[in-house]
Chains A and B, each alone.
Chain A
Amino acid sequence: MLNNQGRPTQPANNNEASSRRRETFTGNRGLQQEEGLIFEFGRAEVSGVDIDEPAQFKPRLGKFERKTPLGLPGLSEPEAVRHYVRLSQKNYSIDAGLYPLGSCTMKHNPRLNEKMARLPGFSDVHPLQPQSTVQGAIELIDELEKWLLELTGMSAVAMSPKAGAHGEACGMMAIKAAHEARGEGKSRHIVIVPDSAHGTNPATAALIGYTVRAVPARADGTVSAQAVREALGPDVAAIMLTNPNTCGLFEKEIVEIAKAVHEAGAYFYCDGANFNAIMGKVRPGDLGIDAMHINLHKTFSTPHGGGGPGAGPVVLSQALAPYAPLPVLGVDKTTLPGKSFTCLIEQEPELAGTARKPFGRMTAFHGQMGMYVRALSYMLSHGADGLKQASEDAVLNANYVRARLSDIMSLPFGDKPCMHEVLFDDKWLKDTGVTTLDFAKAMIDEGYHPMTMYFPLVVHGAMLIEPTESESLASLELFIMTLRDLAFGVLRGETERFTQAPRLAPRRRLDETAAARNPILRWTKPEAISVAAE
């Protein structure tokens, strides 16, 4: 059987699975083909392209010269094509089906976005091109900035961060710069983070040198202003809060929290991962937020995960705006006499005489141009009213799932409206012999990507479902009926359906423990295993 190298695939105690007879001669299951690692079937003597032997040359690498062959697999062109096509067919994506991964917002990536991003004026530009030759691209960034500021009610935006956590780092660095400018850089060393926060929040605070002070959530899943007030003090630099929070609930006391934070001389960072639930409805600037990243790859429908690079612009309040990192947009009046055009200011001296004091820069260039084009396409094609409806539909869809499943699955905070995602816990699984993990794995057999599980950590056996606005009523119904069928299966005692799942996936239950305890991170040539330790 192929693929037995480096891949512990089954729990050791899974007797049913290990004694399972090969279902087919080939190992393929219908048109679902078994695919080995490229190294397993590559042959060094084969090549898809003709490459001339290099002429005589004198190596100058000295002691860095390779001592062993590179070991690249050799493949013909059709072999290479088939390999990657087969792998791609094992992937599950938003283009293949509903992807209810809570907190990740796997929404449809409109094809119009792709069409726009492929316009040569956007796709064939280079960051080192003279700015006068990419005026359209710079104007697009300017336009996108305006939309982001309009939607958030903030003063400035740092476009360059490349993902959510990168945006968090950017926002927290702006906060640090503001405290340093006031001479309080050293005395304020604490960042308050609720215990329901995204894991990246405390990680970001710690990376930037802050100590994290946790605030527990209340029994209803939200953070109380009183608890925040008690955690505040002259040593606190900021609070990092997600709204709507990771339980899918709107933080009702957010305005009061912001007020308390500002009175204590601290700043308010909001994790904007869930902005897709409130875009067009609530402006973070009006809530008293000082910095928030926006995941273009969540809220504004640019590809997400393996499908494309993230982009996490950070909007900043008036207090933090001066510290926005380079590059910033400005007006160039000197390059072409008599003409002025929008430009990206790349150097701090060019900002002399303005209020801007950038804390540095986050990236070598200006960020993810292709994602800017897609995000702006989404905004322009939806319009202000359409964006608002997208938020409303996302919330409506999550509540529809909640309402249709709440009679059978358990809700940790009672049966009340949620925002764009609905959180179930595992109370309803108690004493059934089925865990959240088993239930999620059984969804794979039914053709669905599982929901987010065991997150947020504040809820036991959490199952976080985010359908997004992309799903039609018919699609939601099918999903709900599947979950109901599975749930009734649990209650009927069909335990094996779950504990043995997935039974129909290319790989069955992975042995995560063995993989974590004895990770095999490199493929090793089978015959070379005995000498691999050298």
Chain B
Amino acid sequence: MSSIRYTQDHEYIRIDGDTGTVGISDYAQQQLGDVVFVELPESGKKIGQGEQAAVVESVKAASEVYAPVAGEVIEVNGALEGEPGKVNADPAGDGWFFKIRIGDAKQLDTLMDENAYAEFLKSLG
């Protein structure tokens, strides 16, 4: 069974056992506008929680994507390099950025679940 958690920087992590799939939320892709470039981390890279893992560039702005939890990058979505538009079309599905082996499951408790994230978005207006 998988569950999903969100950061205040609008990354999501879909948890499946000790693996997490990271991407940006639907709200984030809407705010960014059409994504034109994605820079992904290298597979095997170890990153800490909150550290920069990827870069997403839209016609409006370039933003960093931070690791929701610490861990090792085990797979990246290479398809985004040729088709960055997938981030807009299906952020929670085909538009995922990378998969991470979760280093410390306790860090997941610092993130928001779906309801809390929805509340958080409301507070942003």
Contacts and interface: CB of A to CB of B under 8 A. Distances in A.
| Same complex origin of A and B | yes
Contact of A457 (B34, B37, B61): B61
A454 B60 contact: yes
B1 interface: no
A516 B59 contact: yes
Contacts of B59: 512-513, 516
A512 B34 contact: yes
A512 B85 CA distance: 13
B61 A516 contact: no
A512 B84 CA distance: 14
Nearest to B85: A517
5 contacts: A454-B61, A512-B34, A513-B36, A516-B59, A517-B34
A457 B32 CA distance: 12
Interface string B52-77: 00000001110000000000000000
B84 A517 contact: yes
Interface string B92-110: 0000000000000000000
Interface string B79-122: 00000110000000000000000000000000000000000000
Contacts of A457: 61
Interface in A27-46: none
Nearest to B124: A460
Q: Which 3 A-B pairs have the closest CB atoms?
A: A516-B36, A513-B34, A512-B59
A399 B60 CA distance: 28
Given A454-B60, A454-B61, A457-B61, 8 more contacts: A512-B34, A513-B34, A513-B85, A516-B36, A516-B37, A517-B34, A517-B84, A517-B85
Interface majority SS (helix, strand, loop, mixed), chain A: helix
A513 B83 CA distance: 12
A513 B58 CA distance: 8
Nearest to B31: A460
A457 B85 CA distance: 23
A516 B84 CA distance: 11
A512 to B, nearest CB: 4
Contacts of B85: 513, 517
A524 B5 CA distance: 48
Interface in A488-524: 512-513, 516-517
Contacts of A454: 60-61
B72 to A, nearest CB: 23
Interface in A89-134: none
A9 to B, nearest CB: 15
Nearest to A435: B33
Interface string B21-34: 00000000000001
A211 B34 CA distance: 29
A150 B98 CA distance: 56
Contacts of B37: 516
Contacts of B36: 513, 516-517
A516 B60 CA distance: 11
A512 B61 CA distance: 12
A513 B34 CA distance: 6
Interface in B33-55: 34, 36-37
Contacts of A512: 34, 59
A512 B59 CA distance: 7
A512 B60 CA distance: 10
A74 B85 CA distance: 41
A513 B61 CA distance: 12
A210 to B, nearest CB: 16
Nearest to B83: A517
A457 B59 CA distance: 13
Contacts of B60: 454
A347 to B, nearest CB: 42
B61 to A, nearest CB: 6
A193 to B, nearest CB: 14
Nearest to B60: A454
A512 B57 CA distance: 13
Nearest to B62: A199
B48 to A, nearest CB: 15
Contacts of A513: 34, 36, 59, 85
Contacts of A516: 34, 36-37, 59
A517 B59 CA distance: 9
A256 B113 CA distance: 41
| Residue of B37, B59, B84, B85 contacting most chain A CB atoms (<10 Å) | B59
Interface in A136-183: none
Interface string B5-18: 00000000000000
| Residue of A454, A457, A517 contacting most chain B CB atoms (<10 Å) | A517
Interface in A432-458: 454, 457
B84 to A, nearest CB: 7
A44 B36 CA distance: 37
Contacts of B61: 454, 457
A244 to B, nearest CB: 23
Nearest to B63: A457
A511 to B, nearest CB: 9
Nearest to A430: B125
A40 to B, nearest CB: 27
A516 B34 CA distance: 10
